Amino acid sequence: MISNGKKFAAVIAVVLLAVTVLAVPVSAGRTYQTYTYSIDGTALHSPDAYTPLMAIDSTYMGLEKNLDSPSDLLVDKNDNVYIADKANNRIVVLDRYFKLKFEISKFTNDQGIPDSLNAPSGAYVTDDTIYVADTNQNRIVTFDLEGKFIKVIPEPESSLFDTGSVYKPVALVVDDYNRIYVVSSTTYQGIIVMDDDGTFISFIGAQKVTISAWDKLWRKLMTKDQKAQSASYISTEFNNIDMNDKGFIYITTSSIPDNKVASAIRSKTSSGDYLPVKMLNKSGHEVMMRNGFWPPAGEIEFNGSRSDGSINGVSKIVDVAVGPEYTWSIIDSKRQKVFTYDEQGNLLFAFGDSGSQLGNLVSITSICYMSDSRMLILDATNKNITVYQREPYGDILITALKNQNDRQYDKAIDDWTEILKRNSNFDVAYIGIADALYRNGEFTEALDYYKAAYATDGWSDSFKEIRKDWISKYILLIPVIIIAIIAAVFFFFRFAGKVNKRAETSGTKRTFGEELLFAFHLIFHPFDGYWDLKHEKRGSVRAALVYLALAIIAVFYQEIGSGYLVNPQGYYSGFAWSAMGVIVPFLLWVVGNWCLTTLFDGEGNFKDIFVATAYALVPIPLAIIPTTLFSNIALKQELDIISFINTVALIWTFLLIFVGMMVTHDYTIGKNFITTIGTIVAMAFIMFVAILFTTLVGKIVSFITNIFVEINYRL
């Protein structure tokens, strides 16, 4: 019989155990917390695509000598597994059940001399040959599928190699024509392409290098000897390679400076110049599609991607593997994460974390896929292979991609719809459904799905077909509308010209209508117009206020009335912010110019500056309102027209302000230019003082409020 004291102790022990278990963060033991990224960079939870199944160590494999610094992992078409066991100078070959078949280490070469591998870093397997990158021996050695020696492929020779360069093959792939593509860890000219007998063919894919403007100038001033002694500007070397069954080559590098990678990611570039993974065709041209929200480069959160913020900087990409249906994965050795993308460059899922529990990794080194929906990841520190099994969510995802690639669009729609039931935040599914609808000719339905994923390219293509159909229906009406608009604009300016000419010689007091219409003379004849505005009193404060209000309305309308392609997320700040965006810089300019020109003999008073500046705003509503209307029927490639027109309007406004101040104050061009620069400085100073004053008042109010609260509490 158990005593009460023992019962109490047992209860306490159970409680402590439960608290300990519950206190362990879930993410610490699960590398398969899966996520994707939204358009604004927010990490969105995703169902598990892969989960860890088991960890395969040396004992399980049946190795007499444990793995030591394994550097590469690959699988052949029969799911045999190959490990480049670098420190043990061997290639370990396992069967599909991860049991040892044989090792490749020592052999007799083609000269009949005993030979051996020395720190092999990588391998590649074709239908009948095993290619080994024998790194420290500066060569490639080939074996048959039973591990029997075939031949040595020596170091290639070419005048294109730098003098004194060292050939260090670390990874390779072989195409259908037995051309070998070699990554050499000390070769900067790009991927080495050679025949299977070692004959050099070319370099492809050299990493782009930039030289700062200062370095360019400095090198121009150097003597010939100084240039020879200075550090050469060389491209960045690659670290790994893979090839898909279309013959496209994926290459990775971790040597690009972090700031350049970060800048490329933030700019959402479609160029691979400074990104850590690229896809090349056999000619060496970069052809990767980067149609996702973010370019494929691993982590996009640079300032601490873990809760403790201990990991900073861009991902360190060390390997790439081609998966099913032209998916591909890269691994980040800095965060121990896997990032998987589709052929278009959309992030399908990401998972991973560092740790010692099953599925977590310490030093991720290599990744590959098996044919039976398993993924293998090599951990150099743990010296094992972690096997991941694809989950039902991943199966549906691959099936959807397959049906899409096979042009089975109706089936693809069903698959993507099923995915959305499991993951409503998955933008790739919305795009997949939209693409299928588009190819089926259901353009209107496709718009909604493209819009849900902010896929502006697809939305524009669908809208193009809808607009084309609409134009064909109203082909006779459209020219009539265009002619009517042109005629209306022509007659309006003709009417304004007559009114302005009559008002110029009437000698009577200007009407409000004449004051308003005078702006359409001023914007085309600024020197005469601003002279008449000041000296002939052709304008007024009330008309100036109207044009200031029209500029505010135009800016606000641009926010709320722009088409989807201009503002896909539908963000707008509200009328008050739009008004402040016009009024604040307007008043800062007027006040700053008035303060400065008062000191520098300007002939214009505050009213003159206010009216002249307000009349200069006329081009803004004249441009913004029509372009905003046009943005609702424009295609993506036509948005540059809108941007160009709005830019011309802003430049026009700035020129009118410049001329207006020169005429108003009777300045020369040089003095007016200096005064304009001074006004901009004055605007900045006024803003600084205003912010300082506001902050000070806020602190005083807070101090007084705290005193009253304290007194009230005491009483």
Residues with Cβ < 8 Å from 184, sequence gap 6 or more? 167, 168, 169, 170, 192, 237
Instruction: Give the integer Cα–Cα distance in Å for 287 and 488.
Output: 49
Give tens-digit pLDDT for 468-515.
Answer: 999 999 998 989 999 999 999 999 999 999 998 888 877 778 899 999
**Could you tell me how far CA 689 lies from the centroid of its own chain?**
38
Q: In what order do the strands lie in the sheet with 70-75?
A: 70-75, 81-85, 90-94, 100-104
35 contacts 45 by C-beta, under 8 angstroms: yes
> What does each C-alpha distance from 45 to 272, 303, 312, 357, 423 come to in angstroms?
28, 20, 21, 21, 8
Would you call 172 helix, strand, or coil by DSSP?
Answer: strand
Residue with tokens 């190819």: 439
pLDDT at 108: 94
**Identity of the residue numbered 58:** S
Strand-pairing partners, residue 116, are: 106
> What does each C-alpha distance from 143 to 88, 103, 130 come to in angstroms?
18, 11, 5
pLDDT at 217: 57
pLDDT at 356: 78
Give tens-digit pLDDT for 129-172.
Answer: 999 999 999 999 999 999 999 999 999 988 888 777 789 999 99
pLDDT at 313: 87
Residue with tokens 């109490």: 8
Instruction: Give the integer Cα–Cα distance in Å for 565 and 480.
Output: 27
Instruction: Give the integer Cα–Cα distance in Å for 706 and 375.
Output: 62
Q: Based on DSSP, count helices (H) and strands (E) in the chain, helices before strands.
A: 21, 27
> Which residue intervals of 312-455 are DSSP H helices?
392-405, 409-422, 427-439, 443-452
The structural domains of the chain, ordered by start, are 85-204 (2.120.10.30), 207-390 (2.40.10.500), 403-473 (1.25.40.10), 540-697 (no CATH)
pLDDT averaged per 10 residues, the chain (length 715) = 43 34 36 76 90 94 94 95 96 96 95 94 96 95 96 91 84 95 88 94 81 54 53 66 94 90 91 92 91 91 58 90 96 94 94 85 94 94 94 95 92 94 92 93 94 91 94 91 93 91 81 92 93 90 95 94 90 88 94 91 92 95 95 93 95 96 94 94 92 89 85 77
Kind and range of the H or E run holding 44? strand 43-45
pLDDT at 573: 84
pLDDT at 236: 65
pLDDT at 218: 58
Residue with tokens 């009335």: 561
pTM of the model: 0.79
